[in-house]
Structure 1
Amino acid sequence: MKMFRNARPVLSAAALAATLALGYAGNAAAQQAMPPGGNAGSSDMNGTQGNATVGGSSSDDSSAGNTNGGGMPQVQQQGDVSYVSGGVGQDESKALQAAQRSWPLSLRFTGRNAEFLADVRVQLTNAHGASVLDTTSRGPYMLVRVRPGRYTVHASHNGVEKTSTVTVGSNGSARAAFVW
C-alpha cells in the first residue's frame, strides 16, 4: 500500500481480517476488539510486529498462537523431555533451522526427492530401552531437549520404520536425518 505524508490506514491488517470474518456489519465489534493503539499483531510501516496474540491462544500447539515468537511452533512437554516439531511453512522452517544449535537433539524427516515429510511417528528410547518420548512430528523438523546420553530414535512414516542411534553430549548437538 502506498502511503502519503500524514496518511494512515483506516484499519490495521488484523482489524480488516476480523471485519471480513465478521462481515461488514461487524466493523464496530472488530475495532472494539483491538487493544489500545490498534494493530494487534500486525506490522507497522517499519515492519515492527505488535505483541498481541493473533490466530490462537498461547496454549494451543500451532505456530499461529504460540508464545515463542519468530515463527517457532509451540514447545511441547512429555515427562522430562521438551520438544518442538514443524517446519512445513517457510517461517517455521527457517525458525527451526536457526534454533537447531540450541537444542541437544535435532531430527529431520524427508522423502527420497528431499520433499519435507510430516506426520512421522517418533519414539525415543534411552540406553536402558525405556521410552522417553513417543509423539508424532508435525513437520520435517523436530528439536528435542533431553539429558546427555545414548538414545535410539525410532521413526515411522507410512508404515515404514527407520532407526538411528544418537549420542547427545553435554555441550553439543546430535543430529539424525531420516529419508523414506
Structure 2
Amino acid sequence: MKMFRNTRPVLSAAALATTLAIGAIGFAGMTQPAFAQQAMPPGGNAGTDNMNGTTGNATVGGSSSDDSSAGNTNGGGMPQVQQQGDVSYVSGGVGQDESKALQGAAHSWPLALRFTGRKAEFLADVHVQITDAHGASVLDATSRGPYMLVRVRPGRYTVHVSHAGVDKTSAVTVGSNGSARASFVW
C-alpha cells in the first residue's frame, strides 16, 4: 500500500534512478577526461556508449514502451497511455508534475477517477474494474496513483475499486460530451 500526501511530490523509482544517472554522468564528465562526442547516425542508434561499451538507442529515462513516468513520450509529466481492449487509460499523479498534467488533461477524457484517504492523502495501487451496463468487464487495471483517466464509449458503467481490502462501487454515466467523474475516499 502506497500513501502519498498531495503536498509533497514523490519521485518514482524510475525517475529517481534517471535523476541519479544524469547527475553521475555530469559528475563523471567533470572529473574524467572528455569523451569524444558521437554524431547521431540516421535511425537514431548512437552506437557504442563511450562510458560502458554497450550499444543504445539514445532514449533517456526508459524505453518508449516503458509505462513509467520517467520513460514517457507524452511530455509535460503525463504518464504513458495504456490500452486494454478498446479502452485507453492513464493513471498516476504521485509527483507534482504528473498530478498537474493529469488534472489538466481530465477534461478531455470521458471518465476521470480520483482516489484519496480521509485526510486527502493521495492513494496508489488501487485496483479498478469497470463493467458496462450488461456486466461485461471493459477495464481491469491497477491505478499507479491518485488519478485515473479512462477513454470509454458513452454509456452506463459501474466502477468497482479496491484498496487495502476495502471495496467501493459507483455507478457512472458517460455522456456524449464525456464528463463523468467519480471520487473514492477510504
Question: Which deviations, in whole Å up to 9, do the C-alpha atoms of 1:118-149 show, x marking residues without a partner?
Answer: 00000000000000000000000000000000
RMSD (CA atoms): 2.6
The CA deviation at 1:173 is 1.3
The answer to whether 1:149 aligns with 2:149 is no
Letter in 2 for 1:122: V
Identity %: 80
The CA deviation at 1:63 is 1.2
Q: Which has the higher contact order (CA 8 A, sep 6+)?
A: 2
Corresponding residue for residue 178 of structure 1: 184
Corresponding residue for residue 65 of structure 1: 71
CA distance in 1, matches of 2:168, 2:137: 16
Please point out which of 167, 179, 184 is paired with 1:161.
167
CA distance in 2, matches of 1:162, 1:148: 22
The CA deviation at 1:54 is 2.4
Corresponding residue for residue 25 of structure 2: 18
Corresponding residue for residue 96 of structure 2: 90
The CA deviation at 1:64 is 1.2
CA distance in 2, matches of 1:153, 1:130: 12
Corresponding residue for residue 11 of structure 2: none
Please point out which of 19, 33, 37 is paired with 1:32.
37
CA contact (8 A) 1:119 1:137 kept: yes
Corresponding residue for residue 138 of structure 1: 144
Query: TM-score, length-normalised on structure 2?
Result: 0.73
Give the number of equivalent residue pairs.
Answer: 151
**Structure 1 segments (4+ residues) deviating >2 Å:** 14-27, 31-36
In structure 2, the residue corresponding to 1:71 is in which secondary structure? coil
Rate the CA distance shift 1:23–1:78 in 2: closer, same or farther, 3 A.
farther
Rate the CA distance shift 1:121–1:18 in 2: closer, same or farther, 3 A.
same
